[in-house]
Amino acid sequence: MDLSRMLAVQLIKTRFVRHAVRENADLDIFRQKPTPRVIAGLVLIGASYVLCWPVISALGGFAAYVRQPLWVVVGAPVVWTMTHFLCMFGAYLAGKEHSRAFLKWAVRLFVEKHAPDCLPD
């Protein structure tokens, strides 16, 4: 038995996955018009990705220019932490419904592909 099948069989034993398979979880929630709160959350998540590494790279360039490596040694973790919190706040604003729907759909597809004979009725 390969690793993906063993994982699928173990996942099927959980209530979350059995429920996802029984209700034939799909991505219908993404067809609804997003609320302003969800849009703001997604914008913050995107901004955290767009800002993090360019700012750290610029900080590294600045540190090399002024010949003070402490700027990047201290600044990079601070910038990374700030963008991480920005991403987490965006995820909080976007809400758990979209994440839960996507996870149910992905898990259902995984177990249906790798262990179709073990699915619940």
pLDDT by residue (tens digit) across 1-40?
699 999 999 999 999 999 999 999 988 988 999 999 999 9
Give me the pLDDT at residue 88, please. 93
Give me the pLDDT at residue 7, please. 93
pLDDT by residue (tens digit) across 89-108?
998 998 888 888 888 999 99
- Who contacts 87 (Cβ-Cβ below 8 Å, separation ≥6)? 44, 45, 48, 49
Distance CA 2, CA 107 (A): 17
Q: What is the pTM of this model?
A: 0.66
- Mean pLDDT (whole number) for 80-85: 94
The two three-digit tokens of residue 27, written as one number = 């991505």
